[in-house]
Structure 1
Amino acid sequence: MQDIIVRPYTPAVLDELQEIEKKMRKRFPDFPTWANWVYLHKPELKPDNMYVAYKDRKAIGYGHLIPRFAHANDPAHVPNTIYLDMVASLEAEQPERVLDALYEALKARVGEMLVEVLPRKTELCIQHYATVHPILEYAAGQGFERVESYRLLQRDLNMKIPDRLVHGDLEIREWKLETLADKEKFLAANKLAFPEESATLEQLEGIVSIPNFTTFTVFTPANEVAGVIMVRAEDATVGFIENMFVLPEFRGHGLAEALVARGMLYLLEQGFQSVLLHVAAPNVPACNLYQKAGFEIVKEQIEIRRDWNAQ
């Protein structure tokens, strides 16, 4: 039997990957649309970080990684996080061997990348809904452990959206992040809200490119950011709240409720029937905020990690 060969991704093989993915999603509807959407629209995904497994010149699996390196001035406990995913074709005779080959290629690429960054704890991370059990079970066999869970929440936009106003001299305005300066200003505010996250410009540009993207932002009289809600399309009838935060010094004054209401109103005006969002299960204040706004839990996404240095 000819060995499985892993090669870097090229656009010429995309049609084959899309077919693999369509069959995977037919059996596991919660599997992501990597080849059918993300590979075409996410600048963070570089061809150097994407791999395809072949047998007899036919694609039988694929995988990728997305690095989110910690910032140089982040506290020492903030790790580099390397997000990765991989899938074997449902038609592969030995799917575990396909995943083994892809995982080895991805690990080799991580090793190359880490040579070029400052030494710091590094973690490999996979995120999937619990229903995508073949990938989660394979990763568990490679030493990945569950560290977090995220709830997918949904709300019907035809339910009444309450009026929520900001008080004092603050103002909510639409902010489309059209310039580099705007994007850098947003990333700086996001870092203040989430100090342990390492959002990147490329990540943000990928979100900005999604249809119906916009933000509504609370500004101070000095034009400083106090809070943001970021919304976009998920599909033709469903909107998505990509991000929402209020900076610490402005919390406790109803800004979060006002931003959520404004974001939902925008999505309703754009013709969407419902809205989705993810929230970390341990984030009780955020879970309570969204449930009070009419959101209900749909399902759970699991995050598993492995310490790169423990290999």
Structure 2
Amino acid sequence: MNYKIRKAGLEDLERTSELFNLYRVFYRQADDYEKCKKFIQERLNNEQSHIFLVYAGDQAVGFVQLYKLYHYIKLEKQWLLSDLFVHPDYRGKGLSVALIDRSKQWCNETGACGLMLETEKTNDVGNKLYPRCGFEHDGLHNYYYWWN
């Protein structure tokens, strides 16, 4: 499949927001395009995340969103691969792998030590995809959340 990947900017806000909304719906969240649009716009305006869009022809059909973190052992910057989504009509064509590869390239471009991510235990596709892309499962740590 012919595709291209490029970094998203405010000119991509509408399509990025549409894809982000679909991604959230996939994770059983309410359909709320306007809230998604505001969220993405704030991330882009404040340079709080970096989003790469994958295009099939002239249509953006997937994205990856990265947030900067710092690794406590390596004492270096790393990126959190927070969100990865490909529209259902374009799955199974290697676009997720291409977005992950672009994220790895971003690590090299920014001098980061690597990527980390988490996914639901029930995400069978992701739990097969990530090891295929060179990610190692960290069975030594438990992840806990506190929500305000």
Q: 2:53 aligns with which of 217, 232, 254?
A: 217
Per-residue deviation, residues 206-253 of structure 1 (Å, max 9, x unmatched): 433345x322211132x2221111123113521111211110000011
The change in CA–CA distance for 1:216 and 1:200 in structure 2 (over 3 A counts) is: closer
Partner residue of 1:20? Answer: none
Structure 1 runs of 4+ with >4 Å offset: 302-305
Secondary structure in 1 matching 2:118: strand
Q: Which runs of 5+ in 1 are unaligned?
A: 1-166, 306-311
Secondary structure in 1 matching 2:112: coil
**1:229 has 2:64 as partner:** yes
The residue type paired with residue 184 of structure 1 is E
| Matching of residues 199-210 of structure 1 within 5 Å | 200-208=36-44, 209-210=46-47
Bigger radius of gyration among the two: 1
Deviation of the 1:190 alpha carbon: 2.2
The residue type paired with residue 21 of structure 2 is K
Alpha carbons 1:210, 1:232 under 8 Å: kept: no
The residue type paired with residue 178 of structure 1 is L
The residue type paired with residue 6 of structure 2 is R
The change in CA–CA distance for 1:251 and 1:241 in structure 2 (over 3 A counts) is: same
Partner residue of 2:73? Answer: none
| Matching of residues 77-88 of structure 1 within 5 Å | none
| Matching of residues 92-111 of structure 1 within 5 Å | none
Deviation of the 1:277 alpha carbon: 1.4
CA distance in 1, matches of 2:117, 2:18: 22
| Matching of residues 1-311 of structure 1 within 5 Å | 167-168=1-2, 170-175=3-8, 177-179=9-11, 182-195=12-25, 196-197=28-29, 198=32, 200-208=36-44, 209-210=46-47, 213-221=49-57, 223-235=58-70, 236-298=76-138, 299-302=141-144
Secondary structure in 2 matching 1:238: strand
RCO comparison, higher one (Cα < 8 Å, 6+): 1
Alpha carbons 1:238, 1:276 under 8 Å: kept: yes
Secondary structure in 2 matching 1:281: coil
Bigger strand fraction? 1
Q: Which runs of 5+ in 2 are unaligned?
A: 71-75
Per-residue deviation, residues 110-135 of structure 1 (Å, max 9, x unmatched): xxxxxxxxxxxxxxxxxxxxxxxxxx
Per-residue deviation, residues 157-213 of structure 1 (Å, max 9, x unmatched): xxxxxxxxxx23x222222x324xx223211122234423346334324433345x3
Deviation of the 1:296 alpha carbon: 2.1
The residue type paired with residue 189 of structure 1 is L
State the TM-score, normalized to the length of structure 2: 0.75
The change in CA–CA distance for 1:242 and 1:258 in structure 2 (over 3 A counts) is: same
The residue type paired with residue 171 of structure 1 is K
The number of aligned residues is 133
Deviation of the 1:264 alpha carbon: 1.1
Deviation of the 1:302 alpha carbon: 4.9
Bigger helix fraction? 2
Secondary structure in 2 matching 1:257: helix
Deviation of the 1:286 alpha carbon: 0.4
The change in CA–CA distance for 1:282 and 1:219 in structure 2 (over 3 A counts) is: same
